[in-house]
Structure 1
Amino acid sequence: MKKPGLTVKVLSGLVLGAIAGLLINLFIPGYFDALNSYLFVPLGQVFLSLINMLVVPLVLFSIILGTAGLGDPAKLGRIGIKTVAYFLATTTIAIVIGLSLAAVIQPGLAGDFDLSSAEFEAEKAPSVGDTLLNMIPINPIAALGEGNMLQIIFFAVFIGLALTALGEKTEGLVRLIEQGNDVMMYLVGIVMKFAPYGTFGLIATAVGSQGLSAMKAMGSYMLVIVAALFIHAIFTYGGTIKFLAKKSPVWFFKNFAPAMSVGFSTSSSTATLPISMEVAQEKLGVSKSVSSFVQPLGATINMDGTAIMQGVATMFIAQAYGIELSTMDLLTVVLTAVLASIGTAGVPGVGLIMLAMVLGSVGLPPAGIGLVIGIDRLLDMTRTAINISGDAACAVYVAETEKKRDLRTEKINV
């Protein structure tokens, strides 16, 4: 009898965790805190700690090898431009979808919301200019210790370019980095064996702490966001795979499902990065050089799922407060959200910080975030699954276009 694969195991853990959390919340809520403290949280946190442990060395090794593997700096620039252009375009599409659905369904008019209890202290996010300047690490070792992804990526790209330029002189160092990368990927495989149990714990905690009452109160808001995420995944990413990469969208989502499941349970693109890269390379056939460059960058600056939340939440809060947004306001929301996706890269609680920036840009009270913060944890899981899918779709698209370019070059040379 064939053993169930990783996808089945992770999805089983996800479903069982949701069922367990919901049943405990409904029938024995008094026992939830004890079960959560001694069972669910330890299972989830052990899994998160294991994969977070691998993120920094994996990103460092993989981007160095990816940059060195591309060889030609012009090729790196070409791939970089395609990647960033794709991320900006899909983020724009995502927020337009979110705004459009919220304008049609009007979730902010679905019930009476207690605006007096809406409280949220907005943190100040760095500007896009500051973020670009802060990409250059003053101390690369400190950047590695702090897990500052943009600085790690910048430093790793420089190392990769130097290895390419020095060629044979640094063959030994390249082999050492390749071996380090192999060790990291081997450890990812080991950690993934614990993924079903970690997923169970994380989902049980999220669902058990929220329960049906919170979900019913914000049902319309949740429905709009989930619908927008689904539309974006099917049409934007499915269209990318179908028309740009010339592959089957069904093949893409079926093979990327294990990473999406882990992203759903962890609510962190960065934490899911080791798994999403492994799946892209092993299941989707993306070359290591392209995967190693595109996916870590995407995990840092590509936030389509979060952009959808910005659009829906902005419309929801405006409707709840009875404020009508003009066409110019809506265009401002789109522009601010796209720029904020870069400007707040790597900042903890990035989704709510971005939302505070967007609300401020059109004169809406940031305190309105208090209306949506209660169920943000559940929605964060769904948008993370979409975020990492966008990174993978971009990697497949870039990899396929580079393959075709290489083939054309070979024919010309022959």
Structure 2
Amino acid sequence: MGAFLVAIVLILFNLLIFLGLLGVLFILKRKGVSFSKRVLLGLCFGIVLGFVFQFIYSADSTVLLTSADWFQLIGGSYIKLLQMIAVPLIFISILSAFTRLTLTRNLGKISLLVVGLLVGTTAVAALIGITSAAGFGLEAIQIDQGEAETARGASLEETYETVENVTFPQHLLSLIPANPFLDMTGARPSSVIAVVIFAVFLGLAYLGIREKQSVQASFFADGVASLYAIVMKVVSLILQLTPYGVLAVMTKTVALTNLQAIAALAEFVAASYAALAAVFLVHLLLLAFSGLNPIVYLKKAIPVLVFAFTTRTSAGALPMNIRTQQQLGVQDGTANFAGSLGLSIGQNGCAGVYPAMLAIMIAPTVGINPLTPSFILTVVAITAISSFGVAGVGGGATFAAILVLSALDLPIGLAGILISIEPLIDMGRTAVNVSGSMTAGVLTSKLTGELDTSAYYDPDRVVETKP
């Protein structure tokens, strides 16, 4: 009984500290501290508190696990709210893009540029991933597989059965929605792009009747505008919770992270982040080559990148993604288009760096020299093509890895070897995904001459969805 009471007291003490930090963030908001600063503070508070709990309690401590469950009540609720609004936002954003003249004037050109930039940067990301894995000398046989890795491998083998023997044309066919309302529930790995395709068809239909049936078209456009306003208001309400959600998510993540596993796989973590950092540098260089100051982009993008890093959801970051592009001078329609397509096409981190690194690491286990030019070119091409239809929610990187490894005829089960450090790597991957879609939006607007450069360089630029 004594031990039980002590545990209760410790859990309550942990929760009081956590609630106290939530209270600090709330007070800072009342005092007018900027949103981005509060997000960064939430991130720092969460990291520090997580490490404190790591130091005080053992990994299997009942006190720590119970406390983490309560932290998850805040963090998990926040993530679910973001997931709740993600599909409606994707759908209405695409429709809104078609009903706004700034996009429909150059629809074909903008579509090709956005998709081309997303897939092109993914190919570059794959090449960078290959270089990093080879440079660090990574091989799958270097990793001791424990129970977690073995179980993960078995799970991936089961998932592989659903895509086994699926040809590339069949994969493309699976992207087309047979029941768009089913895809709105996220029932399939490719549901996000299916929703995008459905919205695109509705948008094209709107363009088709805009001249001949102007009354009906106007009614439809007004309805889309009304729904967009409502959805963006919901987005604004949810985004106000970001500092608290980030604090909760980071506290739990750091507190329950297996530091020993990270230490044992430090080389793999370093290689992954070296590759991700290089891809992010490519984004900045592309902006610089287009005549834009990449430092300005970095300053405005920090809040959404921090958010994506901590929450590990590209779909959940879509509202802030669109808002950040608008702050950078991207027209509303292009921002909606690039942000939404970036969730399911050409995710630089999850669909570029990650599967390419796995391919290079696993190839030697079946007697393939991963550094031959033909194998490298094959990996880059397959990675770029397979990036179509990768979900912007949890599991997208796994789905991309399965597609690439199966196309290369490599062992799928070995993709589970990094399960113990997966959350840590996934944080960086998600941030790079979001940066890739924002870069595509900014560059597309610059190339089509629609970028508002005065807004890009305006440090005080705000939009309606500001929290």
TM-score for both structures, normalised by structure 1: 0.88
Look up the match of 2:143: 113
Please state if 1:92 is matched with 2:123.
yes
Residues of 1 paired with 2:408 and 2:170: CA distance?
A: 22
1:373 corresponds to which letter in structure 2? I
Please state if 1:64 is matched with 2:95.
yes
1:340-355 to 2 correspondence within 5 Å? 340-342=386-388, 344-345=390-391, 349-355=395-401
2:127–2:356 Cα contact (<8 Å) kept: yes
1:310–1:355 Cα contact (<8 Å) kept: yes
Look up the match of 2:35: 6
Match of 1:33 among 58, 65, 69: 65
Alpha-carbon distance change, 136 to 20 in structure 1, aligned in 2, over 3 angstroms: same
Look up the match of 1:104: 135
Residues of 2 paired with 1:247 and 1:330: CA distance?
A: 32
Alpha-carbon distance change, 274 to 214 in structure 1, aligned in 2, over 3 angstroms: same
Match of 1:286 among 317, 327, 330: 330
Partner SS for 2:315? helix
Please state if 1:376 is matched with 2:411.
no
Residues of 1 paired with 2:319 and 2:142: CA distance?
A: 43
Match of 1:387 among 425, 433, 440: 433
Question: Please, which moves more after superposition, 253-262 or 389-398?
Answer: 253-262
2:50–2:250 Cα contact (<8 Å) kept: yes
Look up the match of 2:193: 150
1:319-358 to 2 correspondence within 5 Å? 324-327=369-372, 328-342=374-388, 344-345=390-391, 349-358=395-404
Match of 2:344 among 284, 300, 323: 300
2:86–2:315 Cα contact (<8 Å) kept: yes
Look up the match of 1:164: 207
Alpha-carbon distance change, 158 to 33 in structure 1, aligned in 2, over 3 angstroms: same
2:318 corresponds to which letter in structure 1? L
2:204 corresponds to which letter in structure 1? L
Look up the match of 2:53: 24
* Sequence identity percentage: 26
Question: When you count helix as a share of all residues, which structure comes out higher?
Answer: 1
Alpha-carbon distance change, 237 to 405 in structure 1, aligned in 2, over 3 angstroms: closer
Q: Deviations over 1:109-165 (max 9, x none)?
A: 9x9532576420332346542343234333333333447222221121222222223
1:101 corresponds to which letter in structure 2? S
Partner SS for 1:181? helix
2:336 corresponds to which letter in structure 1? S
Question: Please, which moves more after superposition, 299-308 or 111-120?
Answer: 111-120
Residues of 1 paired with 2:410 and 2:175: CA distance?
A: 31
Alpha-carbon distance change, 319 to 22 in structure 1, aligned in 2, over 3 angstroms: farther
TM-score for both structures, normalised by structure 2: 0.79
2:183–2:195 Cα contact (<8 Å) kept: yes
Residues of 1 paired with 2:392 and 2:416: CA distance?
A: 23
Match of 1:402 among 429, 440, 448: 448
1:131–1:344 Cα contact (<8 Å) kept: no
Look up the match of 2:13: none
Question: Please, which moves more after superposition, 377-386 or 200-209?
Answer: 200-209
2:332 corresponds to which letter in structure 1? K
Residues of 2 paired with 1:72 and 1:201: CA distance?
A: 38
1:214–1:375 Cα contact (<8 Å) kept: yes
1:164 corresponds to which letter in structure 2? L
Deviation at 1:337, TM superposition (A): 1.6
Deviation at 1:270, TM superposition (A): 1.1
Residues of 1 paired with 2:446 and 2:250: CA distance?
A: 35
Residues of 1 paired with 2:234 and 2:241: CA distance?
A: 12
1:130 corresponds to which letter in structure 2? Q
1:131-210 to 2 correspondence within 5 Å? 131-146=171-186, 148-167=191-210, 168-169=214-215, 170-210=217-257
Question: Please, which moves more after superposition, 360-369 or 299-308?
Answer: 360-369
Q: Deviations over 1:332-360 (max 9, x none)?
A: 22222222211544686221232234334
1:131–1:342 Cα contact (<8 Å) kept: no
Look up the match of 1:53: 84
Look up the match of 2:288: 242
Q: Deviations over 1:31-54 (max 9, x none)?
A: 22011111x211111111222221
2:313–2:392 Cα contact (<8 Å) kept: no
Q: Deviations over 1:234-276 (max 9, x none)?
A: 1x211221122x2111111110111111111221111211221
Partner SS for 1:269? coil
Structure 1: gaps (5+ residues)? 407-414
Question: Please, which moves more after superposition, 388-397 or 316-325?
Answer: 316-325
Look up the match of 1:312: 357
1:71–1:164 Cα contact (<8 Å) kept: no
Partner SS for 2:257? helix
Residues of 1 paired with 2:142 and 2:393: CA distance?
A: 33
Residues of 1 paired with 2:369 and 2:146: CA distance?
A: 20
Deviation at 1:58, TM superposition (A): 1.6
Look up the match of 2:322: 277
Alpha-carbon distance change, 267 to 72 in structure 1, aligned in 2, over 3 angstroms: closer
1:35 corresponds to which letter in structure 2? S
Aligned length: 401
Question: Please, which moves more after superposition, 208-217 or 363-372?
Answer: 363-372
Deviation at 1:94, TM superposition (A): 0.5
1:8 corresponds to which letter in structure 2? K
Residues of 1 paired with 2:173 and 2:434: CA distance?
A: 26
Partner SS for 1:403? coil
